[in-house]
Amino acid sequence: MKQKPETAAAAPGFQIAPMIDVVFVIMLFFMVMAGAVKVEHELKTTLPGNAETAKETDLPDEVTIGVSETGEITLNEDPVGAPGDKLLENLYNQMKLMGQAAEQSKTKLLITVQAEENARYERVINVLDILAKANITNVTFAVSDTE
């Protein structure tokens, strides 16, 4: 009979201790990271869309004031101010009348100042001064087309 050599080691089997250590490290990682997650808060916002209203919505009367490179002022394509006129009395009178008419009819008056690219800033400020003097507050700006 032959005997088995004693040098042959027994099969080590499945080692559970290192596996438990790895699981605890992973669990510790997730516990620490769970505290770092930021909570998102809901914002009370409404996005623009096609909302239906119970009553008819009045659109504002839109008036365009143009400022040319030469300093000429136009009101809805009609000239109202010469390039050297800083007081712009014609523009003031028409803006005052339009403002009063909009107030009486309870509508909004929307003024769009459309200056050409090379128009002088001083001329645009003259127009804004006239609008402030006429008590017009709903003013927007637009860039004129160069075509």
Lowest mean pLDDT among 11-20, 33-42, 117-126: 33-42
Is 24 within a domain?
no
For residue 91, give every residue at least 6 positions away whose Cβ sits within 8 Å of its Cβ, in sequence order, or none: 65, 73, 75, 80, 81, 127, 130
**Residue 119 belongs to a domain:** yes
Average pLDDT, the chain: 81
* DSSP run (H or E) holding 99: helix 89-104
Residue 98 lies in a domain: yes
Per-residue pLDDT, averaged over 15-26, amounts to 92
- pLDDT band of 29, cuts 50, 70, 90: very high
pLDDT at 145: 62
Boundaries of domain holding 116 = 61-143
Task: Note whether residue 117 is domain-resident.
Answer: yes
How many structural domains comprise the chain? 1
Q: What is the mean pLDDT of residues 9-28?
A: 86
- pTM for the predicted model, two decimal places: 0.57
Q: Is the pLDDT of residue 27 over 80?
A: yes
Tell me whether residue 90 is in a domain. yes
The domain that holds 134 is classified in CATH as: 3.30.420.270
Residue 135 within a domain: yes
* pLDDT at position 91 over 80: yes
User: Is 28 a domain residue?
Assistant: no
Across 61-91, b (16+ Cβ under 10 Å) vs e yields eebebbbbeebbbbbeeeebbeeeeeebebb
